[in-house]
A and B are shown apart, each in its own frame.
Chain A
Amino acid sequence: MIESPSFKTTNLFKRMMAEYLERGVAAKEKGIPIAWVTATFPVEIIYAAGLFPYYPENFGARIAAKKVAAAISAAAEKQGYFPDLCAYARCGIGNAFSIKRPVGEVLKPDVVFCSNAQCGSLQKWFEAAGRYYQVPFFLIDTPLIENTPTTLIKRYIVDQLHELLDFLELYTGNTFNFSRLAEVISLSNEACRLWNEILEMAALKPAPFGYFDACYHLAPIVAWRGTKWAVDYYKELKKELEERLDNKVYVIPDERYKLYFDHIPVWPRLRWFSNLLLERKALAVASQYTHAWAWRFDLNRPLESLVKNHTEVFINRGYEYRLEQKISLMNEFKVDGFILFSNRSCKPKALGLYDKYNIISERTGLPGVIFEADMSDERYFNEEYIKKLFGEFFDRLEREST
């Protein structure tokens, strides 16, 4: 796990994450179905149906942060899965075939739910998991929303949520509880609101919190969204940040630059990148990845609202929309430069970045850098190449800011 000793809340996170995992094991023992879900699946429905949601993507990130992705992936590669597949998937599959399990065992599913809003890799990975574990696989199919969401697509996804409710009623034998759904959605709203307020603190200069901190504290908004846990956790984190502001404790006290960091981090190199930027007094402050969970649900129209938030997420949007959103975040956080990560594990995020680099440069006039690596697998990480690339970027940043 990534160390972030400067935050008191880090210890709380570790304790709660351990407890969450224990609860999963206990749920399994008690016969509560374990439901695999993806990050943008409307998990609120799963909670309301009384299942225990489990996030294999979070498991993949923990393997990556522990710097053992290549070793776990090897077990999947031995089975015939290729090193070019998404590393989260390779690690999830690899874990099933591994004997050594440095971050524990992935919780075996009783049912697999997937939304392909993020990518087709999740669809294929979860489909394979459904077959491997011989459990039902339910896909919420979310067609790409290129510009404005169409009635056709919205209706299609709402229809699928009704199919999901039918499926759950048959699966659990219970009538779906809409009152419980309203409670869960309220908790999601509260967690999302707190998360958003926390992220906004990175706009202060100097800031008490940055993108790399956000990556560390992101798991609850993904994995515990819809629970009181997430709300309690972010209340604590926000309180700590407010104390920091009162006491003038900042990530970089003499912060010089604010940067936009597009996408997910290189998990095994989170600290390494943070230090690389720190050396030049630069703080990464915003990213589409960390801001993707700043959702707001409408309790009066729960299903439509779940559809809107979970399927209109940036990763399911067209080229120009995503480009505009990047630039909008850059403006909102008044950044001095931008970093784009061409991630081998994530084609929906990486493809198009080469041209977007040029367009963002033209439209904003900001200096930028684009680098190649994998979010999890250090076999694709070339330290010297990245140091050189970032050295040139920072030199340009300094030249252009003086």
Chain B
Amino acid sequence: MVNPEIQGRVYPPTAPYLVGREKVREFARAVLSTSPLHLDPEAAKAAGYADVIAPPTFAVTVQEATLAQLLADEEAGVDFTRVVHGDQRFTYTRPIVAGDELTATLTIAAVKQLGGHSMVTASSDIVDAKGDHVVTAISTLVVRGDENA
């Protein structure tokens, strides 16, 4: 069972993540996108961006370091082998652009017990090098209870 006392906990900001152009293109191809905005810097510039923009789910790669903080927190008691991804949401102020240096701060928004399972809502605020908000990535993780308990 996940420790309910971690609700409200805020973790230290992650190390800055530099968004590379080729990484954005690789990610866009991996999610089967053909939009030139993700692949062609000239097309992105023509649309008013400094460089290629990332597909909306790209923020998960930046958020990942925050979820690693949660899993590494012994007090939280999250057993990684029992974690199922329940849902995911991204709320943007602006698209992620290649060249952005992003820092993520994790807040545990909620811990709920449902039957034998725990549901943890992890909210990661992602800001740019100026400290301006870019996107909030929210994951609900379902931690399955121990059937043998």
Chains A and B bind each other: no
